[in-house]
Structure 1
């Protein structure tokens, strides 16, 4: 009988423990559901806040863009109505002061540079709106007379094209075409004007005409070792330089 009583007590205690465990599990599950619900509410509130912020920023951007378009349209209309010309001067231009003088080829010639120093040609071509006129065959026959005329022209024009790209100066190369039976087929390189003298006219005469055609004050440099050409262009205000000067400069391109 005592054993049966102990067994009943043990069974009762087990039932009690099970009941308590079930109650605790139910409480935990209930709390978990409550926390999940609150988490869902928080996530929904956060997403709603983000959406509202995006919509609010979009509205502000739209209003700002509309305001900017309105100002730009009003400015364009005012410009058309007033017919204002483009501004060509700046406030600093109205100040009364002395400006430095502009250098000319003669000023550069007065510097202590050798007539065969390539730096002299660089300085001349660095002048604003400089124009380099080249006595083509005079240069090629000074530098590489053993080559055929066609290859002489191509070599010189290739070097002048690179020099034009480096300096930005206008370049004209004149070849003697007085004895040509037909025009030379040639694709001028970028940045170089190629001219042939007409029948009965020498390249020297074309070079002098080019020098005289330039307005006074424009930097014009003529490359030729021909003394008659050099003297003629100098009278027109151009700066003559020797062919060897150009050849040395082209050897660096």
Structure 2
């Protein structure tokens, strides 16, 4: 078993592992349990009352964080003609068609998100083995296969994030950086929770928001009372 570092253990000692914190309490404690020298990501984990093994209980969606993730997002768009021009005007970092596909097949992957118009999926589909494992494949369910490329680019640049429940029924979403004002992180968390509630499957029974935790990239997790979100 890997040993935890001295700084991590010191940070963990400040967290009561049996306590359910309020979100405000967790945000107030965050600076005290963050010890890394870089501006860590703040991550939210939500345990849902669903069984992902059942197709009708798969929770997946996107949410535009009011204050973004704090990370600069490089957006690539597969489009031609007027749609390519529209993407460029919206602020896309890379726009193209077959030329971009060839570049990616050659090993180039200098982008964070990919968008494609539906008519370009014949070209993009050939890149599935490259983009799929990296989570870069455009998908209609995440709003990245669309003719409204300008809106997609603007939302991705503004901090739209995609979430999907894992096999344990947990959703992991970045909600900011350690340097963010606590109120901004709180508003981002609220946006994610509201989106998850809207995405609740009709077949889900019992308590839906069963567990919530907040942590930084290197820091220990803090359990948050899920009752405040159910309300």
Does the alignment reach a TM-score above 0.5?
A: no
Query: Which has more strand, going by share of residues?
Result: 2
Larger Rg computed on CA atoms? 1
Q: Report which structure shows greater RCO (CA 8 Å, sep ≥6).
A: 2
TM-score, length-scaled by structure 1: 0.28
TM-score, length-scaled by structure 2: 0.30
